[in-house]
Amino acid sequence: MGSLPQTSTSSLSSREGEGAAVPVHVAMIMDGNGRWARSRNLPVAAGHRKGAEAVQDCVRSAIRQGVRYLTLYAFSSENWRRSAEEVGDLTSLLRFYLRHKLNELHEQGVRLRVIGEPERFEGALREELRRAEAKTASNTTLTLTLALSYGGRADIVQAARRLADQVASGTLASSDITEERLDQALQTSDMPDPDLVIRTSGECRLSNFLLWQSAYAELVFMDVLWPDFGEAEFVQALSHFAGRQRRFGGRPA
């Protein structure tokens, strides 16, 4: 399996569990479905289906390891540039799992929520997402956030516009705009920042994912393609995290 990591630190504190630091919030950039399929002479849709199975394994692993928040980069704002066929395959797969796997998530105590621009998807899928969020709203074992039609820069822009509207209406002075106020205007304001960001497929970049929120996250880049990502890989990434010294800009102890 492959691996390894660059770094920083994160604005979120991790917990201590069973002798090792456990990240409270893990964010995943799930990359490599297409390459996995092409390497097997399969259609890209087969890679996405196998990748969806890896999502289920990842959720189970997160619960077993004691992670409280798991955020998945399921569909970026840039993914709309892909072929209509591939976008259709992705949205059909999402609809299938909402219909057929939601009860399993609910029984596991998973709360499902969505960030991004779900309004860009067709009405039936938006309604499926709304119902899934409502059904699982009271669950507390794990908060699973799907980033759909999401872009980190767009998230910051909408936060800035929200604050600008408050300044224009006279309810906020521009001098009162702080990092904390902008943070509260982001779509992720009701969750902690990620402790750990994992990207599969060997690529070493954030690709416009949780840019503000990941300012102090630990970053782990793994060579494994997303459809082959399982509990062993998840535990390895957590092990890398546990070995990091997180200083949040301070000097080493």
Q: Indicate the annotated binding residues for Mg(2+).
A: 31, 218
DSSP-assigned letters across all residues of 17-56: ETTEEE-SEEEEE---HHHHHHTTT--HHHHHHHHHHHHH
Half-sphere exposure of 23 (CA within 13 A, CB side): 37
Q: What residues form the annotated binding site for substrate?
A: 32-36, 48, 76-78, 80, 82, 199, 205-207
Is 79 among the catalytic positions?
A: yes
Q: What residues form the annotated binding site?
A: 31-36, 48, 76-78, 80, 82, 199, 205-207, 218
**Whole-number Cα distances in Å, 225 to 3, 76, 122:** 11, 18, 29
Is 31 among the catalytic positions?
A: yes
Name beta bridge partners: 229. none
Show Cβ contacts of residue 6 under 8 Å, excluding neighbours closer than 6 positions.
204, 219, 221
The first and second tokens of residue 196, run together, are 């750990």
Active-site residue among 57, 79, 139, 228?
Answer: 79
Angstrom distance (rounded) from CA 150 to CA 194? 16
Half-sphere exposure of 127 (CA within 13 A, CB side): 3
Helix (H) or strand (E) holding 72: strand 69-76
**Whole-number Cα distances in Å, 49 to 93, 104, 122, 131, 226:** 7, 18, 21, 23, 11
Q: Show which residues are catalytic.
A: 31, 79
